[in-house]
Every structure is written in structure tokens, then in C-alpha cells.
Amino acid sequence: MRQKGDQQYADLLSNLRVEKMTVKHYSMLQTRLITGDGKANVQNICQTYKTHTNKGQSPLILMPKTSLCEEVNVAMLNKIGTTIHRITAVDTLDTIVDRRLMKKVQQAYDKREEDVTRTAGLEKHLQLCVGCKVMLKQNKNVEAGLVNGSVGTVTSFNTITQGNITSIDSTAVKFDKKDNIINIERDSASFEVLKFIYYTRKQFPLMLAFAITIHKSQGLSLQTAIVDAGSSTFGRE
């Protein structure tokens, strides 16, 4: 039991597992609903998140689909009020290719560039700002607890200027339960677009994490969560 010491929560889970919901527990859950007359919209969710953070809590929003998470994350990002940086991955063709095949290679690359399952989770595009909540997508320092799933807040961006071009060199993140601010640099991952034809992607191993999928939350210990628990998420067979 992760919420050790919370007997009310323990009893509630025990009853749910055997489908013996008490009136007391049902009434308690009703008080936790964001809206009592239908599915909460993005604005409702963002406001609930703000209410909890104003109380000094650090909630995560858990949703069933990546597309729903993206919608909430963008809404939350726009509410922060600091400059939003759009960070594009640097993708480099690693394989020497006959010029006559480049059109075919480019078409294959265009189909796969947004598929993070092929790029070790590294996104083609990231939108980040100071104050946004992020999650680490790869293990950086297991001994120090900086592992895939670590959550923190962006505190600043470190830039580098080459000629007339200024780009973000590293992203400073204050991870939860860590004293020091960590500079996260770009990671590299190789991915295949056609047989034996590879690109290398360089990108920050981060994702927005105001809202994450329920699947991504597995293994996390959360003190506060806002959960999409509607009929489209959980249901009886």
C-alpha cells in the first residue's frame, strides 16, 4: 500500500476490488468530482490543478489518451505567462545514400519523424517554458534518482550563440525531492527509416507533464492526482 497510514483510502480500495462500495465511500468520492453534472472540460481541469497548487500541492493529471494529455498540457503551458520556446530536434542522416534514392528516403523520414516509439522517446518538437512541469523520458543518473519518470519544473534555459543564431544548449530543471537544479542536455538516438538507412536525432529527453497518460503513471508514487475516471476510461466487461 503506497498511501501507508491512510486507512480511509486503504478501506476504499479494498471495497472497490470486491465491488462492495459503501454509502460513506460513495459520498466521499462524490465530493471529489470536478463537475457533478457531466464530464469536466479542459478549463475545469486547469482550474482544479491551480486550486491544488495554490494549496502547496503538486498534482499530476492522469488521462487515458496521449491526445487528451496534449490538449491539457498546451492549455496549462499557455496559462503560465512566460516565453514559450519551440525546440525542434536536430535530425541528421547517418547513411550515405545515392542521390537518386533521396526522394524515397525523405518520404520515409517524413512518415516517421513524429513517431517517438522509433526515436527512444525523443520528440520531434518540444514546447517548454520557465515554470512548466516536465517529466524525464530516459534514465540520466540512476544512482542520483534521475530516472525515466522523474518529474520536475523548468527553471531556466541555457543558450549558446553561433554567428547570428542563438539556440538552447541545455534546460535547467528542479526535480521533485531533489535539492539541486539539474541541467538536462540533448540525448541522441538512432532510428531506421528504410532498411539499413538511419538518422540520428538529438533532443532533450523531456516531455510536458502537467497531464500524463495513466499508462505512463504506473510505478509513480503520487500524493495528489486529478484522474479522468469516466466510463470511457474504466468500465466493466
pLDDT, tens digit, for every residue of 90-119?
Answer: 999 999 999 999 999 999 999 999 999 999
**CA quadruple 232, 53, 36, 1: dihedral sign:** positive
Q: Rounded CA gap, 226 and 228, in Å?
A: 7
Tens of pLDDT, residues 142-173: 988 899 999 999 999 999 999 998 999 999 99
C-alpha cell at 169: 544548449
> What type of residue sits at position 152?
G
Say if strands 151-162 and 165-175 run parallel, antiparallel, or are unpaired.
antiparallel
Cell numbers found for residue 161: 550563440
pTM: 0.88
- Taking 50 as the pLDDT cut, the residues of the chain under it are 1, 237
Task: Give Dmax (Cα) for the chain.
Answer: 71
Confidence (pLDDT) at 67? 93
Exposure of 209 in the CB half-sphere (CA atoms within 13 A) = 25
Rg for the chain (alpha carbons), in Å? 21
Q: Tell me what pLDDT residue 221 has.
A: 82
Which spans in 84-192 are helix H?
A: 102-112
For 71, list phi and psi in degrees, rounded to 5. -65, -45
The amino acid at 40:
A
| Model pLDDT, residue 235 | 52
Which amino acid, residue 179? D
Q: What is the pLDDT of residue 237?
A: 46
Beta pairing partners, 203: 187
